[in-house]
A and B are shown apart, each in its own frame.
Chain A
Amino acid sequence: MGKNRAFDVTTLPGFTAIAILAFVLLYAPIVTLVVYSFNGGNSVNLWGGFSLKWYKIAWENEAVQGAAVRSLIIAVWASVIATSVATLAALGTTRRKRFRGQTFIYVMINQPLMVPEIVTAVALLIFFSSVKLATGYSGLGYLILAHSAFCVPFAYLPIRARLEGMDTSMEIAAADLYATPWQTFRHITLPLLMPGVLAGAMLAFVISLDDVIITEFVKSAGQDTLPTYMLGQLRRALTPEVNAISTALLVLTVLILTAFFIITKKRG
């Protein structure tokens, strides 16, 4: 730094206190949750000594196993589908001349960010129940489709950012060197875009893994994901098993998001 700043927010009274308070509010509950996942006792707020027993219980719980596998299947499919759609959308909105209604299209693509999730959830519940009635199919496909849809904007934003930051001179040079539009995409645009695509996929994966509201409304019987399973547990006796599952989910998410930031920081 070393710059002489006319305005420095850290000099205002209470800056340090407010910052500390904010961080405590953000992290104290999570730290508590993580600490009690190692509780030897049966309570989520009375300490009974250190133990890994709740991790063992959760690991051996067939309902948890089923929910975890379902969560992963849905997240993998949803992130693949959402990222593919988002890549096409990002290409369609950046690799062309500016067009009328461009901003409107951006808003349309990012619909899931604006429409309240509960509204989408209810709409999907009603829509899919008619489809279920008509087709008789009641598999995981509905959850995969619903997750794919709301993951699109999360995948779209990093991919579009990457495309906008990418100089079109590479693509022009490829065309100059006899590449057809498809060859240009295949050999130049896509490889250069890959970090953006990966970042988008990771974000979509995390968002899908974490979803409660839409999943709760769309799922059929026996289709609990990890988050909806945990929600179900709240209605019964709450044990540190939920803490253990939450902690595992937290670690997975933090790992993926760390990878996301490393990928997006590393610019080609």
Chain B
Amino acid sequence: MNQDIAVSASRIVKTYGAGTSAVRALDDVSIDIEKGEFFTLLGPSGCGKTTLLRCIAGFETPTSGTILLSGRDITFTPPNERPINTVFQSYALFPHLTVAQNVGFGLQMLGRPKSEVAEAAARVLALVRLDGFANRLPQQLSGGQQQRVALARALAPQPEVLLLDEPLSALDLKLRKEMQSELKRLQTETGITFIFVTHDQEEALTMSNRIGVMSAGKLLQVGTPRDIYDRPVNRFVADFIGETNFVRATLAGDQATLGSGDTIVVDAKGASGSVTLAVRPEQIRIAPRDRPGAIHATVAESTYFGTDMHYQLALSDGTFLIARLQANAANVYGNGDEVGVLIDGTALQLLAE
């Protein structure tokens, strides 16, 4: 057993219902989460990410498979006996207890002396910058403050693993950005393993050490944000993480022929025949038509996004490509402009369907 693995889930299956109406919420999911890492489970709603989190927390028992915590089998351990705490999407703060009592609850239940509980509560409240709020009731706090209390409550018992179930989804954009860096800071300061669930790909990319992308109960890809973004394993991952152009092409060696008849040089890595090319909008450059290697295209639509411009480019066969360029004077094109398109063939991904 690897000493550096905090949570190891292997071959987890979770089925709801029985017979023909049975739903596989988790379909043979295996994953190793390292100690001290900020790991994100990313996927659309209903992909099984929250179910996996609930299995790790102990609120659900997998239909089959095992979950190890630091090498110890906890598959059937009740939640109150797991050194794992959760920050809930709805916060689930105890409305009849003060902020300090909420934060001290875990240690109190563990039977720690009153002085230790009070000390820990004060320390953790300071950590989430809620020093002056110890005697308030949850309903007297704003949403952002309640969020911090939920975080403090889960951190106070110093769990081995902290689970966060879309904790930022109820906050407005500005507060969410603030909490993102706050979470990252807390994770670094405490050294606790964070397992974070979100459907927000930007949140996942900016905060995580590693990301696991899920869809329909399956874990599709695990890797660093850069891995996931630059080298998505399939069309779903490429499409879910950021914007992607999918272009069908036929390979002959390293030469890919697009539907429009244009060719680009790619790194085929031995693949051949019919493939899909995943091209990120920022991998496309616009150049004068006569530039060698440029593909002929017409600007169909342009959209201004502040820092950058999005151009919808029509190839000669009617295929559209989205290009994202910096919004500066050199990159201004109008609808109907005849332009050349340059694609860096070595940077793009060949996807199996």
Contacts and interface: CB of A to CB of B under 8 A. Distances in A.
B78 interface: yes
A176 B109 contact: no
A261 B109 CA distance: 35
A178 B86 contact: no
B262 to A, nearest CB: 56
Given A173-B86, A183-B109, A178 B94 contact: no
B105 A177 contact: yes
A173 B89 CA distance: 11
A140 interface: no
Contacts of A188: 94
B88 to A, nearest CB: 6
B252 interface: no
Contacts of A191: 96
A110 B252 CA distance: 78
Contact of B78 (A173, A175, A192, A268): A175
Contact of B90 (A169, A177, A179, A268): A169
A45 interface: no
A180 interface: yes
Contacts of B58: 175-176
Given A178-B110, A179-B109, A173 B88 contact: yes
Contacts of A176: 57-59, 79-80, 84-86, 154
A266 to B, nearest CB: 13
Interface in B33-53: none
Interface string B75-117: 0001111001110101011111000000001100110000000
Given A169-B88, A172-B59, A173-B86, A178 B106 contact: yes
B62 interface: no
A174 B157 CA distance: 13
Nearest to A177: B106
A169 B95 contact: no
B153 interface: yes
Contacts of B84: 176
A62 B106 CA distance: 57
A177 B153 contact: yes
B157 A177 contact: yes
A105 interface: no
Contacts of A178: 80-81, 106, 109-110, 157
A268 B96 contact: yes
A191 to B, nearest CB: 5
B80 A169 contact: no
A48 B133 CA distance: 66
A268 B88 CA distance: 20
B314 to A, nearest CB: 50
Interface string A159-187: 00000000101101111111110010001
Interface string A173-217: 111111110010001100110000000000000000000000000
A180 B78 CA distance: 9
A126 B26 CA distance: 60
A172 B59 CA distance: 8
Nearest to B111: A178
A177 B96 CA distance: 16
Given A178-B80, A180-B80, A173 B94 contact: yes
A175 B80 CA distance: 5
Contacts of B85: 176-177
Nearest to B101: A187
A176 B163 CA distance: 10
B92 A173 contact: yes
A176 B94 CA distance: 13
A170 B106 contact: no
A173 B81 CA distance: 13
Contacts of A179: 80, 105, 109
12 contacts: A170-B92, A170-B95, A172-B88, A173-B93, A174-B94, A176-B58, A177-B105, A177-B154, A178-B157, A179-B105, A179-B109, A183-B109
Q: Give the top 4 A-B pairs by smallest Cβ distance, nearest first.
A: A177-B106, A173-B92, A169-B92, A178-B109
Given A174-B109, A268-B96, 20 more contacts: A167-B90, A169-B88, A170-B95, A173-B86, A173-B94, A175-B79, A175-B80, A176-B58, A176-B84, A176-B154, A177-B106, A177-B109, A177-B154, A178-B80, A179-B105, A180-B109, A187-B105, A191-B96, A192-B96, A268-B95
